[in-house]
Structure 1
Amino acid sequence: MTDQAVDRDGVQVSGTSAQSQFLGRTRELKELRADIERAGLDTLSGRKAPRARVLLIAGRPGSGRTALAEELVRQVAARYPDGVLRARLSEPDGTAVPTARTAGDLLTALDLPTPPGAADDDLAAALREALTGRRVLLVLDDAADAEQVDALLPDTPDCLVVAVARGPLTGISDVRPCTLGGLDTKSAVELLSRHIGSVRITVDPRAAEGLVEACQAQPAALILAGGWLAARPQAAVADLTKQLHGEGDDGTPLSRVFRLVHSSLPGSAARILRLLSLAPAGRIDQHTASALAGCSVSGARHTLDDFAGFGLLRRIDSPLPEYEVPGCLHPLLRAVTETDDRPAELQLARARMLERTVRLLQSCRAITETDNPQARDKLAGTPRALRFPTPRAAAEWLRLRRPALLASARLAVADGELDTLARRLMSQLVRAMVAHFGMQAAAPDLYGIHRLVLDVAERRDLPREQAAALLNLGDLDARTGRTADALVRYRAALDAGRRANDPYATGRAMESVGGAHQELGDHDRAADWFGRALAERLARGEREEAARLYGRIATAHTYAGRYGEAQRNWKAAIAGYRKLGDVAAHARALSELARVQEYAGRPEESLRTCQEAVEWARRAEDARLQAALHLRLADTLERLGDPAAALLHRSAAERMLGKEIQEGETPDPAMEHPANACEIRSPSVED
């Protein structure tokens, strides 16, 4: 048995844990360790084992199966120098976690990139490849079926997988389950004494053994019984045993002890306990409990501590004060909630929890906007309990609460009755993640959030939100090389934008369709779609966007080899930037015009344009562009037969680059191709 080891949600990497207070299970541990050394069927047949060995610990929730797995990990972790990976394969309500989410979290735990929106098979294959050559111990807790485990098995015999499930995992070869029953009597009595002390055990050892028998020596039931007795120092162990017998034989020992504990709680505490079944991912902090119950944050914290003392909650090893509902208690809590609470009360509690989460996310993002007076004023008006002391504290909270926040978004969308709050939650979650982690690091999570937004928009027939979600998903698809998928999403976004009569979404979608065609090498269609987007911008008088689109059209023509059209469009872009007074953009456009003139076989014109671009780059104080232009001038002058002048320009470029290096700046190796010059993908726009 265990010291109440946590059924983990999410993934983490760890080394060898400290000495635990594990009890019993000596025979099971011995068998499991022997099974590691046992020759597999492949070895016996003369073949090398193609995959990792799988050890299966099977038992009902509450039997201490996760605790046994953790003790085994503690004992053998030193053999696996690349660490221990952990993942939980079922949600608290029993729903199987998608393979893509588990594989993505495991890749993140290994500090490896996770392509946003990748399919289950692709992410599972990426994980198996990442584990090749490593010696890792992989703990898969609460597996729902064999397919979940099989998809994650490393293709190397140097790794070990410890799976925890309710029963056998039929379909995975060469696995002998270690099936758990109750604890031995001595260990079960010792577990009770840890909660209530040795005195009450010593004065009536038969009563203690009777209580163990009434609980069928199940660890979870004994922990609840110990918590109940610990809260009542005057109660005898025999009193609890009698009350349990009075409950009859209805249900399991755990359910009988739980009903007794629940009925003995004060009404307000019992209500809070029931509402904890609504907590996303089974993870609870003081704000979640406070919002669900409608009580103060400090009061919620004290109540959670009391529940942890009773064994009703487990403390999570985290810098934040966090708890979780044990997996074995979640269905019992849900059942009593459905019986004792009205649906309207539960819906109100969910709404309060979502509203509190939205406000915390707003505060988490606002603290990063120190230069925004409006954000500062809004933050000052936020209750002190919802503020973060520093941006670092806000980022840490967001990182630690990430599993619960993402689960909250999924549950809100699945509920379907709080779509307005769900949309606000997802909007603030996206903004907070981008503010603290950056677009690239948050992309895998953002992809899932945008898909949830799309679900709500389609369900509620909200074409504007539908267009925004499709554009965001298309951008993420394009960044990961799924350009054909991105093109489909952009076209759907265009249709949604037209239905919403949203000119921004329509123009953005047209430009994105053009960018996707250009990425696919269809430059004619790219130029056509950029032209359509340009017409929209010109009709609305958006001169800056129009000038930029002239450049994109010119780039498409350049790729297609139509240098005359490219020059005409770059000249239009230059005229637009000149009217806008955008010196830097004017210089870059002149630079690209010079490039096209050189491609077209007009070196003299290119030379004059490039010299003009150098002057504009000097006015814009863009040293990198100046250096790139000097290098291009040097190349052109060499082709025109003037090596002396070419040497002067090359020396000027080297001086500029040397100055940047001395000032601590790293030269951009792609500086001769400015970012807006040959852009082949639509730029991302913050949602």
Structure 2
Amino acid sequence: MTDQAVGGGYLASQAARGPGTAARNGRGALPRQDAAARAGLPGFAGRRHELKELRADIGRAGLDTLTGRRGARSRVLLIAGRPGSGRTTLAEALVREVADDYPDGVLRAVLTGRDGAPVGLARTARDLLAVLGADAPPGADEDQLAEAVRTALAGRRSVLLLDDAPGAEYVEPLIPDAPDCLVVVVSQGPLTGIPDVRPCTLGGLDTAAAVEVLCHYAGPTRVTVDPRTAEAVAEESRGHPAALILAGAWLAGRTKLSVADLRRALLAVPLPPDLPAGARPLHRAFHLTYGALPQPAARILRLATLAPDGLVDAHTAAALGGCTMPAAEAVLHDFAALGLLRPVAEDDVPQAPPAGDGTGPRYRLPGCLVPLSRALLHDHERPADVQLARARMLERTVRLVQSCRAAAEPDGSPIRRKAAELPRSLRFPTRAAAAHWLRTHRGALLDAAAIAVADGQLDTLDRRLIAALTRALLAHHGPEAAAPDLYVLHELALEVAKRRALPRERAAALLNLGDLDARAGRTEQALTRYREALEAARSVKDPVATGRALESLGDTYTELSDWIRAADWYGRALELRLARGDRADVARLHARIGAAHGRAGQYERALKDCRAAARASRRLGDSAGQARAAETAAGVHEGAGELDAALRSRLEALELARAATDAELEADLQLRIAETLDRLGDPAAARVHRAAGERRHSTSTSDLRNR
């Protein structure tokens, strides 16, 4: 089983020096013409029987049925094997063969993160929901998110490919109750606890298939003239696909060497004394390939383990390696040809990228090579140099996100003019291109923010990244669609604020999280957030955050129908606004207090507050504010059973709304007047006001659409 060969070319440093340098240095690279010639050859060997069995398993009756009919859940296929055994490539080959049977596309998720730890069910579910375009409550727990994924897949005919699954507990909650979907899981071991899983366990390739892999990467000529040695290389590699790929690609760049030279070079690679026998072939092949790399390329390979979400593109490689974008692009291109990186398949669900979106190919370091590359990073890079590389990567990410946000602004705006001064590689030609980049890179961007926060030494950069990403998400997605990702970012901002003892930023993060909790219906959690925010804001005498926290507490108690407490918190906010002379806020808060007292049955106090709101609005010349105060008073009269007084207040409010030329408020008031007239027993007058209100609503909606 092999990874698909992709392109070739001289490594960046050699391309800069010109042809022939690689030969002089003894560090060969894959010639472009050889790679191009092999592009049409099959990159898939030795797993035809397994592929046939997997396809047959899709249509077989489930073990939980006696009639032969399909069960209610999706069919689950398991491809099990050690990293590097070709399990992911077999899964991708299966997906390609059955794609036409699943017209709703392929969804992919890698369940193990860049550090070898599980990414977590919540993260996986959020990523899948983002691809599906489905909504998930911000701050939802794992069970809610998994349920949202299953709901979004119900009724679809899709393939869900879950790669590098750590265990059944990360897979089972995502299996949809949709018999027309297919779930393909790649894992190292069994999925104990999931019923009716169809397993396919991979070992090493047989000798013929292993030699075929060598032919595919090294070319057939040298293998044909020395088949015995090729078979010896295959046997010594224990049929390990990843080791064979690396060995074949190494030989391909050295046209004057034979298969026997390859074997001698592999056997000459020193082995650690405690290395298990099964790990020796990959260790030898990797270090043989790594030892032939130019120093700049070798350093990029070591630093690739730092890439957010395990994804490497030219921007990331250039920042980590401290090189130019063209050099980084050439290095990544060659790494893919050498088997050191695997191109990342784009999900089938999203639309094609806009022209000139600035999104180059993305790659992932195969899981079997991550420990080897990370060991090299530890052995060859000083901690200070690693920190500097991370800082360069985050700085470039911040600038890209800022440029992405700028693309959503109107032409000629200050932020667009500032973005125009950036290098061409950091600019987006259109808003659509920027939006596509943000959508396809959202997982890596969120992971970059999490990396920076966890690092603890880059808090200036992580705060800038969190702020820039928050603005970009709001600009391109809007507050509702961006809410789940914003919740994650606000939690990260809160973690930094606590660690750095930044009470203003802590208050802001808590207020933002409280707002999202309140919208999601988690009122108790929102109350806790608002109280903590109030404490933080008061500790630094921040009147803006203090006032917002007080009003938010009042709003939350209003949602809970606890009118007395709501009026109390609004009253505290009113005291603050009066002390600061914020007259517009004073008028608004008087009205809110009046509404709360009215709902609590304290009608006299409520009307007093409504009159105070009207007076404050009149001093400001705010006719719309006066209208809203009059409408609040009408609600109080209505609660007290004084329908005639309620009608007079609403008619007064209607005149004030007309004076303010507020068509939407006027329409709402006419509909409420109609309801009051109905209760007073005057249906004819009610019909007139209702027709006028509906007509104004229709006109207002049409105007908004035209805008």
TM-score normalised over the length of structure 1 = 0.88
Pairing 1:381–2:381 present: no
**How far 1:603 moved relative to its partner?**
4.3
Residue equivalent to 1:304: 332
2:452 to 399, 412, 417: 412
Q: Counterparts in 2 of 1:445-464, with a 5 A limit? A: 445-464=485-504
Q: How big is each residue's C-alpha offset from its partner over 1:548-595, in whole Å with a ceiling of 9 and x where there is no partner?
A: 222222222233233332222222222222223333333333333334
Q: How big is each residue's C-alpha offset from its partner over 1:108-135, in whole Å with a ceiling of 9 and x where there is no partner?
A: 3333211111111222233334444555
Tell me the distance in 1 between the aligned counterparts of 2:111 and 2:684. 70
Residue equivalent to 2:50: 28
Pairing 1:272–2:300 present: yes
Tell me the distance in 2 between the aligned counterparts of 1:148 and 1:282. 19
Pairing 1:235–2:257 present: yes
Amino acid in structure 2 at the alignment position of 1:220: A
Tell me the distance in 2 between the aligned counterparts of 1:107 and 1:565. 49
Tell me the distance in 2 between the aligned counterparts of 1:185 and 1:103. 41
Q: Counterparts in 2 of 1:366-377, with a 5 A limit? A: 366-370=406-410, 373-377=413-417
Pairing 1:283–2:311 present: yes
Residue equivalent to 2:36: none
Pairing 1:356–2:378 present: no
Change in CA separation of 1:46 and 1:561 when aligned onto 2, cut-off 3 Å: farther
Residue equivalent to 2:222: 200
Q: Secondary structure at the match of 2:76?
A: strand
Residue equivalent to 2:233: 211
Pairing 1:495–2:535 present: yes
Conserved? CA contact 2:553–2:569, under 8 Å: yes
**How far 1:532 moved relative to its partner?**
0.8
Q: How big is each residue's C-alpha offset from its partner over 1:501-551, in whole Å with a ceiling of 9 and x where there is no partner?
A: 322222211111121111112111111011111111221222222222222
2:482 to 442, 445, 454: 442
Amino acid in structure 1 at the alignment position of 2:366: P
Change in CA separation of 1:137 and 1:306 when aligned onto 2, cut-off 3 Å: closer
Q: How big is each residue's C-alpha offset from its partner over 1:134-155, in whole Å with a ceiling of 9 and x where there is no partner?
A: 5543322111122112222334
Residue equivalent to 1:565: 605
**How far 1:486 moved relative to its partner?**
1.0
Pairing 1:263–2:298 present: no
Residue equivalent to 1:11: none
Q: Secondary structure at the match of 2:116?
A: coil
Pairing 1:582–2:622 present: yes
Change in CA separation of 1:378 and 1:79 when aligned onto 2, cut-off 3 Å: closer
Residue equivalent to 1:681: none
Pairing 1:425–2:476 present: no
Q: Counterparts in 2 of 1:572-611, with a 5 A limit? A: 572-611=612-651
Amino acid in structure 1 at the alignment position of 2:466: M
Q: Secondary structure at the match of 1:24?
A: coil
Residue equivalent to 1:124: 146
Change in CA separation of 1:600 and 1:260 when aligned onto 2, cut-off 3 Å: same
Listed as ranges, the gaps of 5+ residues in structure 1 are 7-17, 667-687
Pairing 1:94–2:116 present: yes
TM-score normalised over the length of structure 2 = 0.86
Residue equivalent to 1:671: none
Tell me the distance in 1 between the aligned counterparts of 2:678 and 2:194. 69
1:294 to 296, 318, 322: 322
Residue equivalent to 1:330: 370
Q: Counterparts in 2 of 1:655-670, with a 5 A limit? A: 656-657=696-697, 659-660=699-700
Amino acid in structure 2 at the alignment position of 1:280: P
Range that drifts further, 472-481 or 158-167: 158-167
1:144 to 157, 162, 166: 166
Amino acid in structure 2 at the alignment position of 1:442: A
Pairing 1:403–2:438 present: no
Amino acid in structure 2 at the alignment position of 1:296: T
Conserved? CA contact 1:91–1:97, under 8 Å: yes
Tell me the distance in 2 between the aligned counterparts of 1:577 and 1:371. 37
Change in CA separation of 1:182 and 1:665 when aligned onto 2, cut-off 3 Å: closer
Conserved? CA contact 2:617–2:623, under 8 Å: yes
Residue equivalent to 1:685: none
Tell me the distance in 2 between the aligned counterparts of 1:645 and 1:175. 68
Q: Secondary structure at the match of 1:164?
A: strand
Tell me the distance in 2 between the aligned counterparts of 1:180 and 1:289. 33
1:480 to 498, 502, 520: 520
Residue equivalent to 1:183: 205
Q: How many aligned residue pairs are there? A: 655
Tell me the distance in 2 between the aligned counterparts of 1:571 and 1:154. 57
Change in CA separation of 1:199 and 1:30 when aligned onto 2, cut-off 3 Å: same
Q: How big is each residue's C-alpha offset from its partner over 1:254-313, in whole Å with a ceiling of 9 and x where there is no partner?
A: 221111111111112211221111111111222211111122222222222222222222
Q: Secondary structure at the match of 2:65?
A: helix
Conserved? CA contact 2:507–2:532, under 8 Å: yes
Amino acid in structure 1 at the alignment position of 2:557: H
Range that drifts further, 373-382 or 295-304: 373-382
Tell me the distance in 2 between the aligned counterparts of 1:173 and 1:583. 67
Residue equivalent to 1:63: 85
Identity %: 59
Amino acid in structure 1 at the alignment position of 2:253: A
Q: Counterparts in 2 of 1:515-530, with a 5 A limit? A: 515-530=555-570
Amino acid in structure 2 at the alignment position of 1:215: S
Amino acid in structure 1 at the alignment position of 2:324: S
Conserved? CA contact 2:3–2:339, under 8 Å: no
Conserved? CA contact 2:5–2:43, under 8 Å: no
Residue equivalent to 2:382: 342
Range that drifts further, 340-349 or 555-564: 555-564
Tell me the distance in 2 between the aligned counterparts of 1:292 and 1:402. 20
Range that drifts further, 610-619 or 36-45: 36-45
Q: How big is each residue's C-alpha offset from its partner over 1:617-669, in whole Å with a ceiling of 9 and x where there is no partner?
A: 22322223223333444555566676776565455445545655776869xxx
Tell me the distance in 2 between the aligned counterparts of 1:158 and 1:337. 45
Amino acid in structure 1 at the alignment position of 2:341: L
Residue equivalent to 1:534: 574
Tell me the distance in 1 between the aligned counterparts of 2:536 and 2:521. 24
Listed as ranges, the gaps of 5+ residues in structure 2 are 7-39, 347-352, 354-358
Residue equivalent to 1:673: none
Q: Secondary structure at the match of 2:184?
A: strand
Change in CA separation of 1:499 and 1:618 when aligned onto 2, cut-off 3 Å: same
Tell me the distance in 2 between the aligned counterparts of 1:627 and 1:189. 79
Q: Counterparts in 2 of 1:619-634, with a 5 A limit? A: 619-634=659-674
Higher RCO structure (Cα 8 Å, ≥6 apart): 2
Conserved? CA contact 1:62–1:220, under 8 Å: yes
**How far 1:427 moved relative to its partner?**
1.2
Change in CA separation of 1:264 and 1:536 when aligned onto 2, cut-off 3 Å: same
Conserved? CA contact 2:591–2:609, under 8 Å: yes
**How far 1:385 moved relative to its partner?**
2.5
Residue equivalent to 1:169: 191
Range that drifts further, 381-390 or 273-282: 381-390
Tell me the distance in 2 between the aligned counterparts of 1:417 and 1:664. 47
Residue equivalent to 1:85: 107
Tell me the distance in 2 between the aligned counterparts of 1:146 and 1:644. 66
Tell me the distance in 2 between the aligned counterparts of 1:280 and 1:661. 44
Residue equivalent to 1:677: none
Residue equivalent to 1:4: 4
CA RMSD of aligned residues (A): 2.9
**How far 1:98 moved relative to its partner?**
1.1
